C-alpha cells in the first residue's frame, strides 16, 4: 500500500482517486471544494493544503485544469514544494504547457524529488472505467515506481521520454481528437442536410474505413444532442492554444488545428464553453443554419 496524495478532485480527478482507493492505497486529498464523501468514507484523509499532502504522502498526484493552476498548486503559498522531502515523486496528470512542465520538473528536482508529467486521454468515461491512456515523461526509475498506480487508472501506459514529452504527446492527441470531431460533425451535418438519417449514416460508417472512437462516441452525442461535459470545450480550447503556441515557437504550420480552435472559439462566444467538446458541431450548425438532429 502506497501513501498517495491527490490534488484536484473534479470530473476526472474524483473517479481516478476512487480507483486508487479501490486498489488499496491510502489517500491524502486536497481540493478547493469538499472531496467526495465516498472517498472520506473509504478512509481518505482530507488535508488543508498542498504542503500537508506532500508531507504525508510519498507520491503526490496533481489533476487540475491548466498551467497556472499547476504552478499555484506546486509553488504557491503552502504549496506542494513547501512540504516535499527528498525521495518523493510528484506526478502531474493535468494537461498543460510542455515548456512550463520542463521548468516545473527542474524546480522539483532541485528539492531532490522526481517529477513525472503524465497527462491522460479518455475523458470522464475512461476515468471511471480505469481505461485511460496515460502518456508519461520523466525518468524511468520514477516511472517504474509509479507504474502500479498508473495501472489502476489506465490501460495504455507509455513512457514517451523525458520531462515534457508526456505533455507534448497529449497536445498531439488533442490535435487529432479535435480534427476528428470536426470531421465527424461536417460529415453528419452534410448527410442530415441532404435528407439522410444521421443516426443510420453513423451506424453505416461505423462498419467501414471511417470508423473511429470519435464517430462512435461523439457522433452519437451529436445525433442524440447530449452535450453534458465529459471534456469541456473550454479545456480543449486551452489544449489547442498550447498546440498553436508550440507551433509558433517551432516554426511549423497547423492550419486545420487553427480552424478547429476557431470553431471552439465560436462555441464559447455563444455561451457553450462548458459543454462537451463534441458540441463543436454547434459552430458548424450555426454557420449552416441546420442541426444534425433535433433534441
Contacts of residue 56, Cβ cutoff 8 Å, sequence gap at least 6: 3, 5, 28, 45, 47
230 pLDDT band, cuts 50/70/90, is: confident
**What confidence score (pLDDT) does residue 287 get?**
97
Q: What is the pTM of this model?
A: 0.91
Positions marked active-site? 170
Distance CA(147)–CA(18), nearest Å, equals 17
Distance CA(279)–CA(222), nearest Å, equals 7
**What confidence score (pLDDT) does residue 110 get?**
98
pLDDT in tens, 173-202: 999 999 999 999 999 999 999 999 999 999
Considering only CA atoms, which of 219, 238, 218, 240 is closest in space to residue 229? 218
Statement: residue 295 has pLDDT above 80: no
Scanning the chain, the segments in alpha helix (DSSP H) are 13-22, 37-41, 50-56, 67-75, 80-83, 98-109, 123-129, 140-150, 165-193, 198-205, 213-224, 233-250, 255-269, 281-288
**What confidence score (pLDDT) does residue 71 get?**
98
**What confidence score (pLDDT) does residue 164 get?**
97
53 pLDDT band, cuts 50/70/90, is: very high
65 pLDDT band, cuts 50/70/90, is: very high
First CA to last CA distance, the chain: 48
Distance CA(278)–CA(232), nearest Å, equals 9
Span 140-161, average pLDDT = 98
Amino acid at each position: 500500500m502506497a501513501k498517495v496524495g491527490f490534488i484536484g478532485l473534479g470530473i476526472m480527478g474524483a473517479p481516478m482517486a476512487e480507483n486508487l482507493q479501490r486498489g488499496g492505497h491510502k489517500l491524502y486529498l486536497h481540493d478547493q471544494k469538499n472531496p467526495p464523501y465516498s472517498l472520506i468514507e473509504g478512509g481518505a484523509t482530507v488535508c488543508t493544503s498542498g504542503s500537508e499532502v506532500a508531507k504525508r504522502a510519498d507520491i503526490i498526484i496533481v489533476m487540475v485544469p491548466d498551467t497556472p493552476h499547476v504552478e499555484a498548486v506546486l509553488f504557491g503559498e503552502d504549496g506542494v514544494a513547501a512540504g516535499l522531502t527528498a525521495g518523493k515523486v510528484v506526478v502531474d496528470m493535468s494537461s498543460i504547457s510542455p515548456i512550463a512542465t520542463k521548468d516545473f520538473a527542474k524546480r522539483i528536482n532541485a528539492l531532490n524529488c522526481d517529477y513525472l508529467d503524465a497527462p491522460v486521454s479518455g475523458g470522464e468515461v475512461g476515468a471511471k472505467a480505469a481505461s485511460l491512456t496515460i502518456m508519461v515523461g520523466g525518468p524511468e526509475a520514477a516511472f517504474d515506481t509509479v507504474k502500479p498506480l498508473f495501472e489502476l487508472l489506465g490501460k495504455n501506459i507509455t513512457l514517451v521520454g523525458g520531462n515534457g514529452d508526456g505533455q507534448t504527446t497529449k497536445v498531439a492527441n488533442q490535435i487529432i481528437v479535435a480534427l476528428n470531431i470536426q470531421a465527424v460533425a461536417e460529415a453528419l451535418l452534410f448527410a442530415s442536410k441532404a435528407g439522410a438519417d444521421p443516426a443510420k449514416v453513423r451506424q453505416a460508417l461505423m462498419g467501414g474505413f471511417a470508423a473511429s472512437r470519435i464517430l462512435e462516441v461523439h457522433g452519437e452525442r451529436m445525433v442524440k444532442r447530449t452535450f453534458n461535459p465529459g471534456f469541456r470545450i473550454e479545456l480543449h480550447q486551452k489544449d489547442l492554444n498550447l498546440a498553436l503556441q508550440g507551433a509558433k515557437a517551432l516554426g511549423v504550420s497547423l492550419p486545420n488545428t487553427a480552424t478547429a480552435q476557431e470553431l471552439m472559439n465560436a462555441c464559447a462566444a455563444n455561451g457553450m464553453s462548458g459543454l462537451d467538446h463534441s458540441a463543436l458541431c454547434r459552430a458548424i450548425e450555426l454557420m449552416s443554419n441546420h442541426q444534425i438532429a433535433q433534441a
